[in-house]
Amino acid sequence: MKTRFSKIMLLLLALCALPALNVACGDDDPGIPAPDKTALLRQTLQDKFAASHAVGDFPGGTAGVVLADGSSFGLAVGVSDRATQRRMLPGDLLPQASVGKTYVAGVALQLVHEGKLALDDKVEKYLGEEPWFGRLPNAHDITIRMIMKHTSGLMRYEYDPNFTAEVRKDPYRIWKREEQLSFLFDKAAPFPAGQGWEYSDTNYMVLGLVIEHITNSTYYTEAKKRLFDPLGLDHAIFMDRPDIPIVQGYAGDSNVFSGTDAMMVNGKMTLDPGFEWCGGGVASTAEELARWVKLLYEGRAFDPTMLPAMLDGVPAPALGEGAKYGIATILLPSRLGMTYGHSGTFPGYLTRVMYFPDTKVAVAVQVNTSPSTFDRKRLVDTAVELAVIASSR
């Protein structure tokens, strides 16, 4: 009897060793070999992204999804150019817009950890000798932490009608930073320093000037040296010239910057994007962007002891129900728990990145449209839907 039982067990073990027979041997999903599971997950994510595109009002988009174990997927839907009907590809580059502030914050937090900068230092300590500095709102009271959390009272220069009129008049003008800041000179702040919240690219422009003062280098050089190169962000490029290899974007008829719907003509942007600088200033693939966000919020872009300061948010209801803003971070509740990330808008392009700490999944969604009529919340919903699939793996 024992001999017969032993023979049966040996036969069963032999069958388990034959993958082509798909015999159940304790695997959670025995009928699908591991490579096929990966392909199935990718297809499920692609189908969900395509469904979002089908009901959305955007020509095309890219998405990046990074799983808890670091494996990643690049997705694409729609077209990158309405005129040629070229398909959008996962490897296409799109501007990140204000998501670029996360890199500026990464460089600054490295400097804080190195003892070269302190979050509660007055900005005046670094820029006070500039002849224009005292003309900024709240100039003598703002701190580094305030400009990084948008509680300084420095208003947005980029949507000042006088600035946008100048850009339309001379779209390829190379702006000096003090020229951009001059649109705030001698104006009253909307609130005392540290006693309100108002999102503004101006804050991160001032932070970029502080970084350059401390390092005696350019911000782009520091970002490449400290973040892009060591973290292997090989596809990210700086938006520092109009002839950059990004896909076509559509800004709509109300584009106050260049007055054009299409943002690329003969391989050149209809304006020089360099004015954005530390307010954004980076383009990449969505997959690499998602990978950056995972690295950032898992404490691998700077010393992880700096993360609590980054995630200490103040109420920012304009960014969504229950939203807070930390250091270059939107903290937003979702059905998968709290999320960390950022949104971005540049004429012709929208971006949303989200990291889900409870499941360690990161998602980036980019589309090549930006008219004021477009529902930005659709990008948040799409990112969460993709994260739900990726988190259930």
3-state secondary structure labels for all residues of the chain: CHHHHHHHHHHHHHHHCCHHHCCCCCCCCCCCCHHHHHHHHHHHHHHHHHHHHHHCCCCEEEEEEECCCCCEEEEEEEEEECCCCEECCCCCCEECHHHHHHHHHHHHHHHHHCCCCCCCCECHHHHCCCCCHHHCCCCCCCEHHHHHHCCCCCCCCCCCHHHHHHHHHCCCCCCCHHHHHHHHCCCCCCCCCCCCCCCCHHHHHHHHHHHHHHHCCCHHHHHHHHHHCCCCCCCCEECCCCCCCCCCCECCCCCCCCCCCECEECCEECCCHHHCHHHCCEEECHHHHHHHHHHHHCCCCCCHHHHHHHCCCEECHHHCCCCEECCCCEEEEECCEEEEEEEEEECCEEEEEEEECCCCEEEEEEECECCCCCCCHHHHHHHHHHHHHHHCC
2: pLDDT confidence band, cut at 50, 70 and 90? very low
> CATH for 36-391, among 3.30.1540.10, 3.20.10.10, 3.40.710.10, 3.50.50.60?
3.40.710.10
pLDDT digits (tens, 9 = 90+) for 68-82: 999 999 999 999 999
- pLDDT at site 253: 87
Q: What is the pLDDT of residues 183-220, one digit of tens each?
A: 999 999 999 999 999 999 999 999 999 999 999 999 99
- Parse the chain into domains and list their residue ranges: 36-391
Report pLDDT for 33. 66
Which pLDDT band, with edges at 50, 70 and 90, does 34 fall under?
low
Checking if the pLDDT of 367 tops 50, the result is: yes
Query: For the whole prediction, is pTM greater than 0.75?
Result: yes
Average pLDDT in the chain: 92
Instruction: Give the pLDDT band of residue 17 (cuts 50, 70, 90).
Output: very low
pLDDT in tens, 94-106: 999 999 999 999 9
